[in-house]
Amino acid sequence: MSGKFQQKSISVTVTNPRTMDEDLERAELAIRADISSESRGGILITRTSPTTFVVAASDDVPHGQTHAKWLEKP
């Protein structure tokens, strides 16, 4: 398969700061499992508000890596 990933993303709303890392890790693992057969690209976690994140497959992230970007500062 060539070209860009199909849009694969999960929105995560954090309701408890203590579980934020676990919530994001679950979403990351779900996306990683979904893209594993494509074996290219990585995962980008984008903070869009203080409590909202989007975890998505990204061709801009090297395979096997996860990068984060904050559109909204904590």
Residue listed under structure tokens 């890596």 = 65
User: What is the span of the domain harbouring residue 14?
Assistant: 9-70
For residue 43, the tally of other CB atoms under 10 A from its CB is 22
Question: Is the residue at 3 inside a domain?
Answer: no
In the DSSP assignment, the letter for residue 49 is: E
29 Cβ contact partners less than 8 Å away, ≥ 6 residues apart: none
Give the pair of three-digit tokens for residue 38. 């494509």
Question: Is the residue at 66 inside a domain?
Answer: yes
pTM listed for this prediction? 0.83
Element (H, E) at 22: helix 20-35
pLDDT bracket for residue 5 (50, 70, 90)? very low
In the DSSP assignment, the letter for residue 37 is: G
Res. 44: pLDDT tops 50 = yes
Question: Is the residue at 14 inside a domain?
Answer: yes
Instruction: Specify the number of domains making up the chain.
Output: 1
In the DSSP assignment, the letter for residue 63 is: T
pLDDT bracket for residue 20 (50, 70, 90)? very high
Question: Is the residue at 2 inside a domain?
Answer: no
Question: Is the residue at 22 inside a domain?
Answer: yes
